Structure 1
Amino acid sequence: MSRNRRPLVLAAAVATAVTLGASALTLPALAAVGGGKAAPPKLELKDGTLDWGLKESFRKYVVGMAHGTIEATDGAKQAAGNGVFTFTGGTGTYDTGTHATATAFKGAVRFASTAHRFDIKIADVKVRTEGKTGAIQADVTLNGATQNDIDLAALDLSAVRPGQGEGGAMTFKDIPATLTADGAKAFNGMYQAGDKLDPATLTVKAATGTPTDKPTHKPTDKPTDKPTDKPAPTPTRTVTPTGTPTTPGRPAGRVVDGSLSWGLKKSFRTYISSGGKVTVAGGAQKISGGYKFPHAKASVDSGAKKVDASFGGSVRFTYKAHGIDMKFSDLKVRANGAKGTLTVDVTTPKGMNNNVKFATLDLSKASYQAKGDVVRLTKVPAAFTAAGAKQFANGTVGSIYKAGQRIDPVTVALSFSEGAELPAVAAEAADGTGATGSGSVGGDTVGGGTGTAALGDAGSLAATGSGLPSAVLLGTAGAAVAAGAGAVYAARRRRGTELA
C-alpha cells in the first residue's frame, strides 16, 4: 500500500498504545532531580509473540527431500501442516528516548536430517528494532557447534503499519526479513546473505505497572490545609456530556462488533468443490453461499459516508490434484461515498501477497445510516481489480480472470452497541447476471470469453505458486454441475522439487 512520509515503525507505534486505549497503558511521570533533566523512561513489554516460519521452502525441504524432522520445544510451537513457528512469552523494553525496542522470547526449533547430515537448532530468539530497521537474533547450533546471539535475519520496518490486537497488544504484521551473512554461515552455506526469508509478525503488549497506582500529584502532602476551600465541584455530573445515555462507556460512533459476508466467486467455489477442500480458520465461518468473517476493528462516519473496516479469520482453498493452495485473510473494506475497495492478503506456497487491492466495490446504492445501531452495506456489487485477477495467474498462460469481471457481492454489518442484532445475511453469488443458467458458469464464462462453461481458452485456473511447475488446468466445456453452477476439470501436473 502507499508509504507515508512518516514511516510507521515498531518503536514509534508502541508509544501510541497509550492513546489506543485498549489497556490503559501509562508512562511513569518522572520528576527532574535537582533541576536536571530526567532520563527518558523505558516502558516494559510483556506477553509478546513472534510468528515466523524462518523459510517455508527450507521447512518443506527438511520434511520432504531430506526425510528429516522439525521439533518446536520450550515454549515454541509450530502451526499445523508444517506451518510457521510461534515463539511465546516475549518480554522486553521500549526506550521512549531512542524509540528502540528489545524483546526476548521463549522457545526453540530444531531441524534435523540423518540422510542429509545436518542438525540445526535455533533458540533464545530476540527481536530488536530502532528506526526503520531491526533484526531477529538467536543462538544457532549447527551440528553441535553453537554461535550465540547472532543476527539471523535483518528486518525492514519502513513500510510496516501497526495494528491493534487483543488486550491492547500492538501487532506488526508481515515484517519483511532477509538472511544475514552470519545467518547464512549458520545454515552451512545452504543460503546466501540477502536471501528472502518468511515475513515475521511481532506482537507486543505494554505492561501495566504501578506508576498509576500512586499518582505523583501528591494530594496528601497537606491534607488539613483548608480542606473545605474547594469542596470538589461535583465534576462527576459531566460523565455523559455527549448525551448518549445508552452507551455511557463508549465514545459515540465506536464500532464494537460486526462481520463481513462474502463468497469470493461462485464458479471458483464450485470448481474447488469438484475435488478440493475449503477450510475456514481464525473465527471465520462457512455460511450459505460463502463465508462470514468476524469484525477486528472499524470506524464509521455516516455523515461523510466513509467506512474503514478490518476483519479477522481466513478461508483456504486447496485442490491437491491440481496444485492449488490459496488462503485469503486480513480482509479490509474501505468505502468512501459511491466507491470502495476490498483488500485481502493472499497466501500461496510461494509466499504471501499483502494488502492486495482485490476488488472494487459499487456503493452507489448503499446507505451509511445506522438502523437499530447497526450500519449495513448489503450485497454490495464487487468486481476484480487487475491485482485481484492476477492472484489467479498461472505462470505459463496468465490469469483466467480479468479486471472488471464480477465476483460475489460483499455484505458488511457494523454495530455501535454490544446488544445490537447483526443481520444473518447469507453471502450471495453474483457471477455475471446471477441467472441460474444458460450454459455459463454462474452466468459468466470464467475465462472472460463468450463460450459455455469453461475455464477460458487457455484452460488455466489459479497458478497458486505451489513451487512445483504448477498445474495447467484444461477446462472441459459444458459439463455443468447443478444448473450452470460449474464445470468438471482435468489437470496435468509435472512433479518437481525445490529447496529455496
Structure 2
Amino acid sequence: MSARRRRSLALAAAVATAAALGATAAPSATAAEIPLSGYELTWGIKQSYRTYVTTFAQGAFTPTGGARQAENNGAFTFTGGTGTYDSTTHATALGFQGELNITSTAHGFELTLSDLKFDSGAGRITADVERGGTTQDDVPLATVTVTRSMTDMATTLTEEAGEVFGSASYPGAAGDPLTVVKTADPEPEPSPTETATTPPASPTAEPTSSATPTAAPTTSASPTTQSPTPTPSATASQSTAPATRGEIADGTLDWGVKQSFRAYVTGPVAKGEITASDGATQAAGNGAFTFSDATGAYDTEAGTLKAAFKGAVTFKGHEHDGAWSLNLTFSDLRVDLTRGKGTLSADVDDLGETSQDVVLADLSAPSAELTARDDVITLDRVTATLTEAGAEAFGGFYTAGAALDPVSLAMTLTEDAELPAGTGGTDGGNGTGSGTGSGTGSGTGGTGTDGGSGATGSTTGGTGSTVGGDLGGSLASTGSDVPVGALGAAAGAAVAAGAGAVLVLRRRNAMVE
C-alpha cells in the first residue's frame, strides 16, 4: 500500500475519532444541526438468529407500525427516520418508526423491539426492549463500523444483545450489516445566515464529501431516491470542476463476491477458509473484500471508466488428506463501464488451472453518469449479475443470472485527492476465515433493501452456516440440549441433496482426472 494511501486511512481514522470525541465532550451548537427526515434503517440482527427463531424455536417475526421484513425471512426495515446532522462534528443521529415482535412457541419467549436509533458519532444501534411486561429504553444492541456511504456497515453485537436474544455467544459476534438510506425528498439547504454562523469544530472540518466516515448519510441505490442536503463546505467544494478525462491516480473496489458463498466456504459443510492477499483485505465477520491501488482511465463526458485493481481472494474448502477439493482464486479484478453498464472480470485459478480475464459479472450502476466530487469518482451499490462464464468459474454452484454482491468503486483523479473510507478490509487484516460459519441462513442476504446480495443460492451456504455459527449457544440458553454435531450432520445431508453436492462431486472428479 502506498504511503499516500496509508496517510489517507490515518487521516480518516483521526477525523472519525475527533468527531466522536467532540460529540461526547459537549453538546452540538444549535446552528450546526441540520434537521433530517425520510430515512430508513435496514438491519437483520443476525441471519442465523432469524433462522433459529423460525425453525428450531417454532417462532415468528411480526413487524408493525411502519416496520417490515424482506421476503424469505430476510432483514428488517424501520421507516420514518428523523433526526439531525451536525455539520460541525459530521455526526448523524436518527430515530425510526416501527416495532418488531419476536415470539417462540417451542421455547416460550416473547420480546418486542421498538424506537430503534442510530448514532453515527457513537457508532451504535439502540432499541427499546419489552419483555415480560417491562420495557427497557435505549438498549445498545450493536456497535457499528460507520462508513461514508452508510450502506452495508459492519455491526458487532453487544453483551446486552446476548441477553436480549438469549445467546452467550453473541457478545462480540458479527451481526448483520446495517444500511441507512434517504428515501424521501431532501430537506432545504441551510440558509446563508446559518452557514455563516456555524463555527468549524476542528482543523479537520474539510469538505464533507471526502472527510469523515460519519458524514451525512448518502442515498440508496433506488432510482427514486434523492440526494441528502449537502453541508455548506461540501457545496463549496463541488464548484471546482475536475478534468473530464484522464488517468486514475488511485482507487478501491469493494465487493463481497457473494455472501452465501462466503458462508458456505467457512461453514461446517465445506469447513474451509478464505484468504485475501496481494493488496486485498477482508472486513471483519467474514465480510466483503477491498481491492486496492486502482489504475486505468476515465472520461466523465463519455461516461466511460476502465479500472484494474490489485489483490487476490482465495476460497478453499472440502479438505481431504491435505488437499482441497475446492480451491478457487480471483485476482486482477477489472471493471469496464460505459454509461452505467459494463462488466467485472478477473483472472480465475481453479485447482491450479488459470483462466485470464474471465467476465464474472454484468454490472449495472444506479446512474449512467460519472460525476467527480473533490476529484473523486464514487459508484455505490453497482448491481452485479453472474454471467455464463462466471457460473462456470463457480463450478455450477450458481447459475447464470444469479445476483452477486453489489460492487462499490472509488477512484481519485489527482494525487492529492483523498479516498473515502471503504466498506471492506477496514478491520479484516488478511481475512482468513475462521471455519465456524457466519450465520447466513436461508432467505435473502445483504441488507434486505432490494432482496439482498445473497438472494440467489443462499439456501446452500446458509443452512450449513446457521448450524456451524452460534446456534448451539442460542439453543443452550433456552434450555434445549440438541447436539451440535447431529445438527451439523443433518445440515450436511440437506446441502448434499442440493447444489452443494454438485460442487463437491465436480471438485473430487477434477482431482481424480
Instruction: State the TM-score bracket (shorter-chain normalisation).
Output: 0.3 to 0.5
Greater share of residues in helix:
2
Greater share of residues in strand:
1
The two structures have a TM-score, normalised by structure 1, of 0.47
User: Which has the larger Rg?
Assistant: 1
